[in-house]
Amino acid sequence: MVRVRLGPQSHFHLAARRHRGGGQDEWLLAIKQMGGESTEAWRTVLDDLVKRGLRRPELLIVDGGAGLESANRRRLG
């Protein structure tokens, strides 16, 4: 999640990236402006990625945000 402050309001951008390891490139898969890190916000991001061919990730790193964990369990199982 990236928080951008423009004036008095903050805007939340949820981002997903792919890292293959072994010195291979890292790719930004998605970035969406959302109202926060809720389960529904992350589900919107995951739904878009699945529509574009994302399979279940081998490793998902979460910074403690329950929204992404919950959305991942519901969407990618």
Q: List pLDDT tens digits, range 60-76.
A: 777 777 888 888 888 77
The pTM assigned to this predicted structure is 0.70
Q: Distance of CA 8 to CAs 1, 3, 14, 35, 72, Å?
A: 19, 13, 20, 15, 32
pLDDT of residue 24 exceeding 80, the answer is no
Return the residue matching tokens 């402050």: 5
Average pLDDT over residues 17-34: 79
* Distance, CA of 36 to CA of 13 (rounded, Å): 8
**What confidence category does residue 77 fall into, taking pLDDT thresholds of 50, 70 and 90?**
low
**H/E element holding 18?**
strand 9-19
**Maximum Cα interatomic distance, the chain, rounded to a whole number of Å:** 42
pLDDT of residue 3 exceeding 70, the answer is no
